[in-house]
Amino acid sequence: MRSILAATLLLAGFAATPAAAAPARESLQLDPGLVLVQRSVEPPITGRNCPRPGTRSPGSRQQIRTTFSNANDFQISLYWVDFQGNSVHYGNIRPRGSMTLQSYLGHVWVALDPRGRCLGHAAVPRGEPTLAF
């Protein structure tokens, strides 16, 4: 039952939290082999090369295996723009590295440089795309 709940939370885009308030990015072990990571939700990212204010990821059930590529000589931070327009940090990509995630058609992603400036943003297209920043 707990595995089904955890899977449902993941598919719905929610992170599980313990009864007491938990700090951002705390892991919660529900079952052996299943770990949910609580991601920090931040206000929308604004500035040059960022999505327009009010941009949100659309609801979609079409999963798309997406590779995010860092074409720079510095680390970048990858954020998903959620259904309310907030920014959700998904991780960092090392210089000239890449990260592959399961995303959804039309979901919006933003890449930031180490100073927090937008390098660009993209919506996930059909196929198995590589989005380069």
Nearest to 38 by CA among 99, 93, 94, 89: 89
Kindly report, residue by residue over 111-123, the tens digit of the pLDDT: 999 999 999 999 9
Q: What pLDDT, on a 0 to 100 scale, did the predictor assign at position 39?
A: 73
The answer to whether the CB of 60 falls within 8 A of the CB of 107 is: yes
Beta bridge pairs of residue 66: 101
Q: Which CATH architecture has domain 42-132?
A: Sandwich (2.60)
Question: pLDDT of 57-109, one tens digit each?
Answer: 999 999 999 999 999 999 999 999 999 999 999 999 999 999 999 999 999 99
The full set of domain ranges for the chain reads 2-38, 42-132
**What is the number of H-type helices and E-type strands within the chain?**
1, 10
